[in-house]
Amino acid sequence: MKIQIAAGAAILFVAGIGAGYSAKMQPSSAMYRGKDAKEAAQGLLQAALVQAGKNGSWERIGAGRVYYLGGFKAEGQAIFDAVLSGKPEDSDIYRIARIYEEAGEWDKARPLFDRYLAANPGEGKDFAEVGSYYLLRGDRATAEKLFDRAFEIERDDPWTTERIAGAYLGVQPMK
């Protein structure tokens, strides 16, 4: 029951409804000492969302990542949806795509990555990273088109080259 209440509170914080209560919330040992792991995480994540504030999209995405990958997908998804519902920064779109990719949800990650690359045609390392994900999922033709674009932009960058080389060996790009 406590976990459900905590999950509901997290969604309210994302929506900005819990402002009065959240202004007083600060992390403390009472949030985790003597609590089971999930309850401790929920309390700490609520505090992290308060710390992030209304304008801390990267920080909110970070909390969403922990929710999403930690087994509380609905709470994480609510944070991502809130960030994406307005006019998100391109970097927010990229970060959320990375989380979906990390969760093994390529079908959710791919359109966000493609959207990001269309809006950022000069980011060679990012073309290399996204191309790596395509290659690691068996789409070599798309991957190599993205690799070509990456090298057009940043032919002398070792990070770009390393990401691409790693993909051919089955190595995830370093983030």
pLDDT at 2: 47
DSSP state letters, 111-175: HHHHHHHHH-TT-HHHHHHHHHHHHHTT-HHHHHHHHHHHHHH-TT-HHHHHHHHHHHTTPPPP-
Q: What is the pTM of this model?
A: 0.82
pLDDT at 21: 44
CA–CA separation, 7 and 5 (whole Å): 5
Please count the residues of the chain: 175
Print burial letters for 12-51: b (CB count within 10 Å at least 16), e (below 16): bbbeeebeeebeebeeeeebeeeeeeeeebbbbbbbbbbe
pLDDT at 44: 87
Task: Put residue 71 in one of left, alpha, beta given phi > 0 → left and psi -120 to 50 → alpha.
Answer: left
pLDDT at 63: 93
CA–CA separation, 95 and 115 (whole Å): 12
CA distances from 110 to 93, 141, 147, 167, 175 (A): 11, 15, 16, 16, 17
Q: Number of C-alpha atoms within 13 angstroms, CB side, residue 152?
A: 10
To 10 degrees, what angle do helices 37-52 and 2-15 make? Answer: 10
pLDDT at 127: 98
In order along its 175 residues, the chain shows pLDDT tens digits of: 444 444 454 454 455 534 444 455 778 787 888 889 898 888 888 888 888 886 679 999 999 999 999 999 999 999 999 999 989 999 999 999 999 999 999 999 999 999 999 999 999 999 999 999 999 999 999 999 999 999 999 999 999 999 999 999 999 998 7
3-state helix, strand, coil in the chain (%, to 5): 75, 0, 25
Which structural domains are found in the chain, ordered by start? Answer: 1-86 (no CATH), 88-175 (1.25.40.10)
pLDDT at 24: 57
